[in-house]
């Protein structure tokens, strides 16, 4: 009999293997691309002194602007902004998914107990005297279940869950970086608008004085009405600009309060910003080698790509048989007093095999879906890599252009400052009137307004470059 069973074993194994569905043939997978070359762009920035060879940004990179009020706002935002709490919650969900996936791989145990009181039918399975009686059944058991992961399907699902957890961890860092960058650029805009309001108020007062001078000359018959009309137009334009920048400043305050997780009224007491940075932007030497590990958005896509690859392997494993083992032991009696007696012991054990014999269509659909998700993950990773190189290149190019614009603007300011000194000297000597002095001061203020705009654009470009460089983030495992 035993010899006959051994003869049946090869046939049984052959039947099991024949029951395996055949996975569909897939095209070769796309490959993640490396970082496009940005070395020439970086060398040009270093050569033109718009950037300096310095280490990667540190974690609190905004401290380079030396503004205590900005430091306070960033701390408020990181502590109170709902986006940070949402990112932390998503990471907690990913951690529980990992724990659940690992639990599926191990042996599961369940403690079951129950009591059931029933009347047995006289005409049923049990004849009298048992039939017609009312009995109470008590049961207490421990059940065990374990699936044998021959094809590593469960391990692949665990790897997918772990990769997703790593992606959520990097996503939280990306949320932090985006919040920092949004708050800092808004703060710079707030600083610009506050300075514009102060300069425009001075311009407005000068235009008021010029209007009074023109009206006095017109009343004395020393001039026509044209200077009065021009002065009124200049005063109206200055008033409109003051109101416009005041409104912008109030909107900036509200935006800063929202980023800090506060209401609009909280922003009323914000101090006037003083952030200014005139040094070259920091640019790491080994930019092309380390950028992918320094960008949290790239690391997010890298781990999501790993998760998608693991799900493809898990979908392939679904084409093969699955074996599970079960066991149960416990006590069962119709008399409560006999529940703990050895005669009440019950036990069972068994094995089950799942053969995907009639499921090829569903399995192929699952595999095709997993493969399509993997292809999409590769495309998203490649797009993020290209965007990483583009953003660094754009900010370096912007800084080079702004350096030229600011240099030209500073020459304009120097010339107008010299003109203003001459106008003041002539006014003090009595060879020129106060109107000529006001007009010279207005031209100098208008140049300051333009310089303020360009300076804020440069601060914004430096902050965006710090974001493009990862804002101090570092992933220990370098994506490849």
**Does 285 map to a domain?**
yes
**Does 26 map to a domain?**
no
pLDDT computed for residue 189 by the predictor: 92
Which has more confidence, 25 or 306? 306
160-179 per-position pLDDT tens digit: 889 999 999 999 999 999 99
**Does 140 map to a domain?**
no
Domain of 64, in residue numbers: 32-106+152-319+359-468
Query: How many domains would you assign to the chain?
Result: 1
pLDDT computed for residue 218 by the predictor: 66
94-139 per-position pLDDT tens digit: 888 888 777 766 677 777 777 777 777 777 666 777 666 777 767 7
How far apart, in Å, are the Cα atoms of 162 and each of 83, 102, 305, 371, 476?
Answer: 23, 10, 12, 19, 15
**Does 251 map to a domain?**
yes
Instruction: Name the pTM for this structure.
Output: 0.79
Burial 4-27 (b: 16+ CB within 10 A, else e): eeeeeeeeeeeeeeeeebebeeee
pLDDT band at 48 (very low <50, low <70, confident <90, very high): confident
pLDDT computed for residue 243 by the predictor: 92
**Does 142 map to a domain?**
no
Contact indicator for 351, 324 with CB cutoff of 8 Å: yes
**Does 439 map to a domain?**
yes
313-329 per-position pLDDT tens digit: 888 877 777 777 777 77
Which has more confidence, 478 or 363? 363
468-480 average pLDDT score? 73
pLDDT band at 270 (very low <50, low <70, confident <90, very high): confident
Residue 93 has pLDDT above 70, yes or no: yes
pLDDT computed for residue 5 by the predictor: 46
CA 446-448-449 angle, to 5 degrees, is: 65
- Whichever domain contains 277, its CATH number is 1.20.1600.10
**Does 266 map to a domain?**
yes
Question: Could you tell me the two tokens for 477?
Answer: 């495992």
Q: Going by DSSP bridges, is the β-strand pair 281-283/345-354 parallel, antiparallel, or unpaired?
A: unpaired
What percentage of the chain exceeds 70 in pLDDT? 81
Question: Hey, which bits of 334-423 come out as E strands?
Answer: 345-354
Residue 11 has pLDDT above 70, yes or no: no
Which is it for the CA torsion 295, 296, 301, 303, positive or negative?
positive
Mean pLDDT value across the chain: 80
pLDDT band at 4 (very low <50, low <70, confident <90, very high): very low
pLDDT computed for residue 26 by the predictor: 55
Which has more confidence, 58 or 325? 58
pLDDT computed for residue 480 by the predictor: 43
**Does 345 map to a domain?**
no
pLDDT band at 221 (very low <50, low <70, confident <90, very high): low
380-402 average pLDDT score? 92
339-356 per-position pLDDT tens digit: 666 766 777 777 767 666
Backbone dihedral angles phi then psi of residue 335, each to the nearest 5 degrees = -125, 120
pLDDT computed for residue 203 by the predictor: 83
């Amino acid at each position: 009999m035993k010899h006959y069973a051994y003869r049946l074993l090869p046939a049984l194994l052959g039947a099991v293997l024949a029951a395996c569905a055949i996975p569909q043939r897939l095209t070769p997978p796309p490959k993640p691309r490396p970082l496009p070359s940005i070395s020439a762009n970086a060398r040009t920035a270093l050569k033109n002194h718009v950037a300096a060879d310095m280490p990667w940004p540190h974690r609190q990179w905004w401290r380079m602007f030396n503004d205590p009020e900005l430091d306070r706002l960033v701390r408020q935002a990181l502590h109170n902004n709902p986006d940070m709490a949402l990112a932390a919650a998503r990471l907690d969900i990913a951690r529980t998914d990992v724990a659940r996936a690992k639990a599926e791989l191990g042996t599961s145990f369940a403690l079951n107990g129950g009591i059931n009181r029933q009347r047995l039918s006289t005409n049923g399975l049990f004849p009298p005297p048992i039939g017609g009686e009312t009995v109470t059944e008590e049961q207490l058991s421990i059940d065990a279940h374990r699936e044998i992961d021959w094809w590593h399907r469960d391990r692949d699902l665990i790897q997918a869950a772990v990769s997703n957890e790593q992606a959520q961890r990097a996503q939280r860092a990306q949320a932090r970086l985006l919040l920092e960058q949004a708050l800092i650029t808004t703060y710079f805009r707030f600083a610009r608008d506050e300075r514009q309001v102060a300069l425009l108020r001075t311009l407005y007062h000068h235009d008021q004085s010029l209007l009074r001078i023109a009206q006095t000359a017109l009343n004395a018959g020393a001039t026509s009405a044209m200077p009065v009309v021009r002065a009124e137009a200049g005063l109206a334009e200055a008033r409109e600009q003051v109101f416009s920048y005041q409104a912008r400043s109030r909107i900036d305050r509200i935006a800063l309060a929202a980023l800090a997780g506060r209401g609009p009224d909280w922003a009323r007491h914000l101090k006037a910003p003083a952030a200014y940075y005139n040094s070259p932007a920091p640019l790491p030497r080994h930019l092309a080698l380390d950028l992918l590990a320094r960008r949290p958005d790239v690391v997010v896509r890298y781990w999501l790509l790993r998760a998608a690859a693991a799900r493809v392997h898990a979908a392939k494993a679904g084409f093969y048989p699955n074996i599970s083992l079960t066991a149960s032991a416990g006590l069962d009696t119709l008399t409560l007093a006999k529940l703990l007696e050895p005669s009440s012991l019950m036990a069972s054990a068994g094995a089950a095999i799942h053969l995907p014999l009639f499921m090829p269509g569903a399995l192929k659909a699952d595999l095709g879906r997993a493969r399509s998700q993997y292809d999409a993950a590769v495309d998203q990773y490649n797009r993020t890599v290209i965007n990483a190189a583009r953003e660094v290149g754009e900010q370096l190019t912007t800084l080079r252009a702004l350096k030229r614009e600011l240099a030209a603007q500073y020459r304009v300011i120097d010339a107008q400052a010299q003109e203003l000194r001459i106008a003041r000297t002539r006014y003090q000597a009595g060879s020129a009137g106060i109107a000529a002095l006001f007009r010279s001061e207005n031209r100098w203020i208008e140049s300051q307004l333009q310089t303020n705009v360009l300076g804020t654009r440069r601060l914004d470009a430096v902050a965006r470059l710090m974001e493009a460089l990862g804002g101090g983030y570092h992933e220990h495992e370098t994506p490849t």
